[in-house]
Amino acid sequence: MTKPAPLTKADFRYFVDIQTRWADNDMFGHVNNVEYYRFFEIAVVDFLMGPCQLDLFNAPAVPFAAESKCRFFRPLSWPEKVVAGIRIEKLGRTSVTYGIGLFGEGSDQAAAEGHWVHVFVGREDQRPTDIPPAPRAAFEAHLA
């Protein structure tokens, strides 16, 4: 099976700078796989609190992670700085799928790509609910 070519920064609409830490590296001198998911989470939370204007601590509707995946193209390594790119790949009534690219310092091609699916639920009842207006507008503005 042929691996698709990595996406480039031009494929994304929102960017977050992430500084790797020495503790992120594994015994091979590469960022450990689990840290890529932490980078995804940093980027998504930044997007939710920034353009989406979502108060994660008090909003009546909050996003729950329903699915995530990662495809690796090349290793990242501390002390390299990482840029995470976000785009919205799919938008439903209660859910959103983010496309995420992780770019090494000075690189235009993604070192890793992933997606993250959030389902919005009511804080009190934990049942799926409509995406609130402010996040929906931000999601629509960042559709791929």
Q: What is the pLDDT of residues 120-132, one digit of tens each?
A: 999 999 999 999 9
Per the CB < 8 A criterion, the answer to whether 116 and 43 are in contact is no
**Above 80 in pLDDT, residue 3?**
no
pLDDT at 25: 92
Per the CB < 8 A criterion, the answer to whether 134 and 141 are in contact is no
Q: Which residue range(s) make up the domain with 17?
A: 9-141
pLDDT in tens, 34-56: 999 999 999 999 999 999 999 99
Residue listed under structure tokens 């496309």 = 99
Within a domain: 88: yes
Within a domain: 15: yes
Helices marked H in the chain:
33-49, 133-141
pLDDT at 2: 77
pLDDT at 107: 95
Within a domain: 68: yes
pTM listed for this prediction: 0.93
Rg of the chain, C-alpha, whole Å: 16
Q: Which amino acid is at 62?
A: V
Q: Residue 127: which CATH number?
A: 3.10.129.10
Within a domain: 1: no
- Position 4 confidence tier, pLDDT thresholds 50, 70, 90: confident
- Position 79 confidence tier, pLDDT thresholds 50, 70, 90: very high
Within a domain: 135: yes
pLDDT in tens, 14-26: 999 999 999 999 9
Within a domain: 4: no
Within a domain: 2: no
| Contacts for 54 with CB less than 8 Å, ≥ 6 apart | 48, 62, 63, 132, 134, 135
